[in-house]
């Protein structure tokens, strides 16, 4: 479908020339001789772009532009201004007032067409971005109107507009990541990046370069300089997920960045200031980790300015039916299936379960029921309680690692390599936290001393 362009000019000749040029390029054209007439045509027709003469009898072109911007239906309409020799300054002024572009008389055919096409393309892209953004915001919308969720929403509304650091705690699968994204979307930083770092999935040797980036030649393999997550999140939000799994070494570096508001790329001499809002999440008891020396107390206090607790599903059983129905609707749409309903008994059974894996487990159970059931989901389709539990299994962690490695590091790790790195790392931090007392570390790790010695040798871990 071709776009419709409205021309508003009091000079008949100009209107005729523009009409010919635009018509020849396949546009629909509307004409008006005065701003009043033009504004009327705008409210009666679907217009994609307007071309306004700066100087018009009665309401001037510039005033008309302001009226167009003030009406919600036309606030985003691309408007091009035409100026005579004497009115260039007014045209420039019009651009400051929101005109998309201007061109001078005498009109140049190609210049007009380039301007019109660019303006239409830009406005089309803007619309697409808005739609995508609205869609993304929808996906991060949280479901649930139970008392605990209402309390959570009011906390989110208070904290989101600030720059306050938030530590999100709660059991696995309760929606901590969703909360972090919601804080970002509700904040003035929403148009800047939201960068997630899965601290548990990055091996200790990589974490510094992942977080702070590196300069070309900083280490073997550093062919080009690379920005780290802190820099990528500049002006936006950095989400440190699974912060409880970060090594002591990495904790020290993050602490320094938070204290100074500056980061230094690996292999660089100079610090770069970054404006980043930091959110962190964990399903561990960080206070206990602080008590046993596995998490730095100073970092804990820096991160935990505003604590937010993500409630378990057991604390909000009222929401289970709504969540289940909404997940079912989503899966059916995604898979092009007719919508499946749950009968009352099913909803009741779901509401009564223990849900140790929280919303994530509910989602998995619902997906499975929708796939395996007939037209209506009945009690027979409900899996036995505890059958599809999904605690933080190797597969979730591996999936997270895959997402991360894929997006940020060309080096692919096999699952085995990943597991070994994680193991080596964990052994090292545990040893560090016990000041290299082997018996104590072996106790914490739940392995025999001889076994720990063997692992240390095979991983080359030395004090």
Ligand X SMILES: Nc1ncnc2c1ncn2[C@@H]1O[C@H](COP(=O)(O)OP(=O)(O)OP(=O)(O)O)[C@@H](O)[C@H]1O
Q: Applying CB under 6 A, does 196 fall inside the site for ligand X?
A: no
Element (H, E) at 147: helix 147-159
Task: Give the one entry of ligand X, Mg ion, none that residue 213 binds, where binding means its C-beta sits below a cut-off of 5 to 8 angstroms depending on kind.
Answer: none
Residue from 10, 137, 155, 177 in contact with Mg ion (CB under 5 A): 177
Distance of alpha carbon 187 from alpha carbon 183, whole angstroms = 6
Neighbours of 185 (CB within 10 A): 19
List the single partner that 175 binds among Mg ion, ligand X, none, CB under 5 to 8 Å by kind.
ligand X
Residues 327, 367 contacting (CB under 8 angstroms): yes
* CB-facing half-sphere around the CA of 361: CA atoms within 13 A: 27
Instruction: Give the H/E segment covering residue 157.
Output: helix 147-159
Which does residue 312 touch among Mg ion, ligand X, none (CB within 5 to 8 A, set by kind)?
none
Closest distance between ligand X and the C-beta of residue 405, in Å? 17
From 49-57, 170-178, 374-382, 401-409, give the range in contact with ligand X by CB under 6 A. 170-178
Q: Nearest approach, Cβ of 139 to ligand X (angstroms)?
A: 8
- CB closer to ligand X, 60 vs 172: 172
Which H or E run contains 255?
helix 248-260
Cβ closest to Mg ion, residue 50 vs residue 422: 422
CB of 320 to ligand X, least distance (A): 11
Q: Token digits for 234?
A: 């500049």
Q: Is 173 in the site for ligand X (CB under 6 A)?
A: yes
Candidates 175, 228, 236, 311; binder of ligand X (CB under 6 A) is: 175
Choose one: 75-83, 126-134, 169-177, 371-379; the region binding Mg ion (CB under 5 A).
169-177
Stretch that binds ligand X, among 110-118, 140-148, 204-212, 338-346 (CB under 6 A): 140-148
Selected range binding ligand X among 172-180, 185-193, 204-212, 405-413, rule: CB under 6 A: 172-180
Q: Is 178 in the site for ligand X (CB under 6 A)?
A: yes
x/- mask, ligand X, residues 261-300, rule CB under 6 A, reads: ----------------------x-----------------
User: Taking each helix axis from N to C terminus, what angle separates 449-459 and 438-445, rounded to the nearest 10 degrees?
Assistant: 100
Enclosing H/E stretch for 286: helix 286-291
Residue-wise over 40-69: b if at least 16 C-beta within 10 A, else e? ebbeeeebbbbbbbbbbeebbbbebbeebb
In the bound state with Mg ion, the residue whose beta carbon lies nearer, of 170 and 213, is 170
Read out DSSP for 60-75?
-HHHHHHHHHHSTTTT
Q: Which residue is nearest to ligand X (CB)?
A: 175
Q: Which stretch binds ligand X (CB under 6 A): 108-116, 122-130, 167-175, 373-381?
A: 167-175
Which one among 15, 226, 363, 424 touches ligand X, defined by CB under 6 A?
Answer: 363
* Stretch of residues binding ligand X (CB under 6 A), selected from 15-23, 46-54, 165-173, 206-214: 165-173
Cα 244 from chain centre: 22
Closest C-alpha to 243, from 190, 166, 173, 184: 166
**Taking the complex as a whole, how short is the minimal distance between the CB of residue 144 and ligand X, in angstroms?**
5
CA–CA distance from 389 to each of 85, 134, 315, 365 (Å)? Answer: 75, 33, 18, 9
Whose CB is nearest to Mg ion? 177
Indicate the residue among 47 and 286 with the shorter CB distance to ligand X.
286
Identify the helix (H) or strand (E) that includes residue 325: helix 320-334
The secondary structure element, H or E, covering residue 83 is: strand 79-83
Q: Does 142 bind ligand X (CB under 6 A)?
A: yes
Beginning with the edge strand found earlier in the chain, give each strand of the sheet holding 194-198 in spatial order.
194-198, 237-241, 277-282, 166-169, 306-309
Interface residue list for ligand X (CB under 6 A): 142-144, 170, 172-178, 283, 310, 359-360, 363, 392
Interface residue list for Mg ion (CB under 5 A): 176-177
């Amino acid at each position: 479908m071709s776009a419709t362009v409205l021309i508003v000019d009091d000079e008949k000749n100009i209107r005729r020339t523009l009409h010919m040029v635009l018509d020849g390029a396949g546009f629909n054209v509307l004409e008006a001789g005065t701003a009043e007439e033009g504004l009327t045509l705008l409210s009666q027709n679907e217009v994609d772009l307007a071309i306004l003469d700066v100087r018009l009898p009665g309401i001037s072109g510039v005033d008309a532009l302001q009226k167009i911007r003030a009406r919600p239906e036309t606030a985003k309409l691309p408007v091009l201004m035409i100026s005579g020799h004497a009115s260039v300054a007014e045209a420039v002024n019009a651009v400051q007032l929101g005109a998309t572009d201007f061109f001078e008389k005498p009109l140049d055919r190609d210049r007009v067409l380039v301007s019109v096409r660019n303006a239409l393309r830009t406005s089309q892209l803007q619309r697409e971005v808005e739609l995508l953004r609205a869609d993304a915001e929808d996906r991060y919308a949280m479901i649930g109107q139970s008392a605990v969720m209402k309390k959570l929403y009011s906390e989110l509304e208070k904290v989101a507009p600030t720059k306050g650091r938030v530590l999100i705690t709660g059991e696995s699968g309760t929606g901590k990541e969703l909360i972090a994204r919601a804080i970002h979307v509700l904040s003035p930083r929403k148009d800047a990046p939201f960068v997630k770092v899965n601290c548990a999935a990055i091996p200790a040797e990589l974490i510094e370069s992942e977080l702070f980036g590196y300069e070309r030649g900083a280490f073997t393999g550093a062919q080009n300089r690379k920005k780290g997550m802190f820099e990528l999140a500049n002006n936006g939000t950095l989400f440190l997920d699974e912060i409880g799994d970060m090594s002591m070494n990495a904790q020290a570096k993050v602490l320094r960045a938070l204290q100074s508001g500056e980061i230094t790329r690996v292999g660089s001499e100079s610090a770069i200031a970054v404006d980043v809002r930091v959110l962190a999440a964990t399903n561990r008891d960080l206070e206990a980790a602080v008590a046993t020396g596995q998490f730095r107390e100073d970092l804990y206090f820096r991160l935990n300015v505003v604590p937010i607790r993500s409630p378990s599903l057991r604390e909000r059983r009222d929401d289970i039916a709504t969540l289940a129905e909404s997940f079912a609707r989503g899966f059916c749409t995604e898979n092009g299936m007719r919508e499946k309903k749950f009968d009352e008994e099913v909803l009741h059974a779901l509401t009564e379960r223990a849900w140790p894996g929280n919303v994530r487990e509910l989602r998995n159970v619902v997906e499975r029921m929708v796939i395996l059931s007939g037209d209506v989901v009945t009690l027979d389709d409900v899996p036995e309680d505890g059958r599809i539990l999904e605690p933080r299994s190797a597969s979730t962690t591996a999936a997270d690692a895959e997402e991360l490695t894929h997006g940020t590091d060309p080096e692919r790790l096999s699952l085995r390599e990943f597991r070994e790195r994680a193991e080596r790392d964990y052994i090292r931090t545990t040893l560090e936290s016990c000041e290299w007392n082997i018996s104590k570390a072996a106790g914490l790790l739940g392995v025999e001393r001889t076994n720990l010695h063997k692992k240390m040798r095979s991983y080359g871990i030395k004090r």
